[in-house]
Amino acid sequence: MAPDDKVLRIGLLGGGTVGGGVARILAREAEDIAVRTGAHLRISRVAVRDLTRTRDLPVPDTVYTDDAQAVVDADDVDIVVEVMGGLEPAGTLIRRALASGKPVVTANKELVAQQGPALYRAAHDAGVDLAYEAAVAGAIPIIRPLKESLAGDRITRIMGILNGTTNYILTRMTEEGADYDAVLADAQALGYAEADPTADVGGHDAAAKCAILASLAFDTTVTLDDVFREGIERVTATDIRTADRLGYVIKLLGIASEVDDRVETRVHPAFLPKTHPLASVRGSFNAVFVEADAAGELMFLGRGAGAEPTGSAVVGDVIDVARNLLQGARGASESQHRAKELRAIEELQTQYYVLLDVEDEAGVLAEVARCFGDHDVSIAQVWQDGSEDTAQLVLITHRAREGDLRTTVSALGTLSGVRSVASVLRVESEGVTP
């Protein structure tokens, strides 16, 4: 099975962190990769924004250029690898490569989340591969299992910890009992969180991955803006402590499900039972939990970011695409994308945790309970808590309609015995029961 002297040439768009990871892995594992591919893989061109910057990629100095389009068009580029990120010029370059019959591997989460189905169609029309394993959850093989391993199955729900920064913050808050602001500041100092952490803590990054997973799992078009989104900024040490006492942890979850032919996608912090496999996913790890009709429950865990983990996923895709190219074949396509109705968040049915600051007086509980009942939200658990000058009511509801819960919460705020609604979080207690 030794490879002959065939060479496939890679045009790398982007010479930054991920590009460096890709180049180093290709160099380090060159021999084994050649055997597995049936050809040597060589980086023939690298497009970078700033030619004057020094780089330590294991490629000849002569391959660098600041003309990305020339890399796409070059006769000595057989496969285009896009690791520059951002919507443009990445999108135009990828479409150009596909149209000219060149397969593309991309790690561009933002682009795939916003234009995925259009890009899949472009690849299909051109009869070439578009691979994007690295765009979701870094090193975790999740796109390939969804497209191939579960091709004969029906996926009903995907639930994921899709952002490492927020999982790191929530893990430290849980394990240290610390407050959000303190842990965020420390995470920023340690480099685990960006100076502007909005994309992570606000759930935008997770929402992009959730959109890609939903599109793929349910054969439809879900874009970033379709995903309901709440961040972790308002999760308090009290919420986490309360969750713990009740047998839950708090995680930022991306959830996509298909109910009665309607697709529901959402990213928000949620109570999750400690016995759920996702509950034990600590630190900066990502994980994706999949429920399918025949396969049952599956989980995939790994590093969601970083030059080498993301590079590993890119190189796996490059080998796949290269093998197909050598055989004149194409990898598995996304299925026909059917327009499916999206379910509004108000239609969501789940359990809720509500924390109320209340007056320490008789009758409050009855007043609160009546308010829930009046709005068709049934209470599963309740207890009163508090120190000398504050009293709190903690409530967990049965499954209720989000719309009804929201009306309830508005009404709670007007009750004389309720000082404020301190927290409202969804409780995701469906799932694994081994």
Q: Which of residues 20-49 bind its own copies (CB under 8 A)?
A: 21, 25-26, 28-29, 32-33, 35-37
Q: How many CA atoms, within 13 angstroms, populate the side-chain half-sphere of residue 204?
A: 8
List the one residue from 106, 114, 166, 284 that touches its own copies (CB under 8 A). 284
Residue 209 annotated to the active site: yes
| Least spacing, CB of residue 283 vs its own copies, in Å | 2
Give the per-residue contact string, 363-402, with its own copies (x = CB under 8 A; - = no): ----------------------------------------
Q: DSSP state, 404?
A: H
Task: Mark residue 227 as left, alpha or beta (left: phi above 0; alpha: psi -120 to 50; beta: remaining).
Answer: beta
Q: Which residues contact 75 (CB under 8 A, 6 or more apart)?
A: none
Q: Is 117 in the site for its own copies (CB under 8 A)?
A: no
Q: Is 318 in the site for its own copies (CB under 8 A)?
A: yes
**Which CB, 191 or 434, lies closer to its own copies?**
434
Q: DSSP state, 325?
A: H
**Which CB, 117 or 202, lies closer to its own copies?**
117
The amino acid occupying position 249 is: V
Q: Which residues contact 329 (CB under 8 A, 6 or more apart)?
A: none
**Which CB, 145 or 403, lies closer to its own copies?**
145
Look at the chain and count its residues.
434
Sign of torsion over alpha carbons 368, 370, 372, 374: negative
Strands 341-342 vs 391-397: parallel, antiparallel or unpaired: unpaired
Token pair listed for 273: 């039972």
Of 102, 209, 251, 340, which is the active-site residue? Answer: 209
**Which CB, 259 or 332, lies closer to its own copies?**
332
Triad 278, 231, 116: Cα angle to 5°: 80
- For the segment 215-274, give every residue that binds its own copies (CB under 8 A): 219
Q: Is 361 in the site for its own copies (CB under 8 A)?
A: no
Give CA–CA dist 195/67, Å, rounded. 31
**Which CB, 217 or 356, lies closer to its own copies?**
217
Nearest to 232 by CA among 20, 425, 408: 425
List the one residue from 194, 293, 347, 376 that touches its own copies (CB under 8 A). 293
| Least spacing, CB of residue 91 vs its own copies, in Å | 22
List the one residue from 105, 140, 159, 396 that touches its own copies (CB under 8 A). 140
> Is the separation of the CB atoms in 290 and 150 below 8 Å?
yes
Residue range at the interface with its own copies (CB under 8 A); choices 103-111, 321-329, 372-380, 398-406: 321-329
Strands 296-303 vs 285-292: parallel, antiparallel or unpaired: antiparallel
- For the segment 180-219, give every residue that binds its own copies (CB under 8 A): 219
Give CA–CA dist 327/39, Å, rounded. 12
Q: Is 277 in the site for its own copies (CB under 8 A)?
A: yes
In 260-312, the DSSP E strands lie at 262-273, 285-292, 296-303
| Least spacing, CB of residue 16 vs its own copies, in Å | 17
Q: Which residues contact 62 (CB under 8 A, 6 or more apart)?
A: none
List the one residue from 82, 110, 129, 133 that touches its own copies (CB under 8 A). 133
| Least spacing, CB of residue 364 vs its own copies, in Å | 38
**Which CB, 35 or 182, lies closer to its own copies?**
35
**Which CB, 146 or 222, lies closer to its own copies?**
146
> Is the separation of the CB atoms in 352 and 412 below 8 Å?
no
| Least spacing, CB of residue 151 vs its own copies, in Å | 4
| Least spacing, CB of residue 278 vs its own copies, in Å | 10
Number of residues that bind its own copies (CB under 8 A): 74
> Is the separation of the CB atoms in 257 and 160 below 8 Å?
no
In 176-330, the DSSP E strands lie at 228-229, 248-259, 262-273, 285-292, 296-303
- For the segment 294-313, give every residue that binds its own copies (CB under 8 A): 294-303, 306, 308-309, 311-313
List the one residue from 84, 255, 315, 396 that touches its own copies (CB under 8 A). 315
| Least spacing, CB of residue 174 vs its own copies, in Å | 12
Whether the upstream peptide bond of residue 60 has omega within 30° of 0, thus cis, is: no
| Least spacing, CB of residue 253 vs its own copies, in Å | 17
State the DSSP H helix or E strand holding residue 152, giving kind and residue range, or none if neither. Answer: none
Residue range at the interface with its own copies (CB under 8 A); choices 91-99, 103-111, 132-140, 182-190: 132-140
Active-site residue list: 209
